Each structure stands twice: as structure tokens, then as C-alpha cells.
Amino acid sequence: MRSGKWKLITFYDLEKTELYNLDADPGEMNDLSAIYPEKVHELSIKLAIWQEKMGAFLPTQNSNN
């Protein structure tokens, strides 16, 4: 999910989320999720709303690949 300078990446299979400031770190080398948990929360909500609107399939731990 991209919002302005921020990029949120959610790895559902690993239950992990990463956050990057693309203005300062275009190579996505420094995960800022621990430093900006409020931004992770904000973007996660936006992502969930978009996924629901689009009817996106979300993998679960019980999903067969």
C-alpha cells in the first residue's frame, strides 16, 4: 500500500509488516515500522478498507497454496 511518501508491505504468510519512507529511502533498505507504529496502523486500516471494497482474497494460515 502506498500513500504519499509511505509504503506499507504486509507479508500475510509471515504475519509481518514493513514500512518505508520512499522519499528518504527509495531502495527500501530501512524498515521504519517499529519507529512509526501509528503510521503502520493508519495505513493498515486504509489497506483493509480498500481490500474489502475490492473483494480481495486474503490468505490465512489455513489457506492451501
> Using one digit for the tens of pLDDT, what is the confidence trace for 23-38?
999 999 999 999 999 9
User: Which residue segment(s) compose the domain that 39 sits in?
Assistant: 2-54
Is there a contact between 22 and 28 (Cβ–Cβ < 8 Å)?
yes
Instruction: Please give the model's pTM, rounded to 2 decimal places.
Output: 0.82
Q: Which residue has the cell 482474497?
A: 57
Q: Is residue 45 part of a domain?
A: yes
Is there a contact between 17 and 11 (Cβ–Cβ < 8 Å)?
yes
Q: Which letter does DSSP use for residue 60 in this model?
A: -
For residue 62, what pLDDT is reported?
55
For residue 4, what pLDDT is reported?
97
Largest CA distance in the chain: 38
Q: What is the CATH number of the domain that holds 48?
A: 3.30.1120.10
Cα-atom radius of gyration of the chain, to the nearest Å?
A: 13
For residue 15, what pLDDT is reported?
87
Q: Is residue 41 part of a domain?
A: yes
- What is the number of structural domains in the chain? 1
Q: Is residue 43 part of a domain?
A: yes
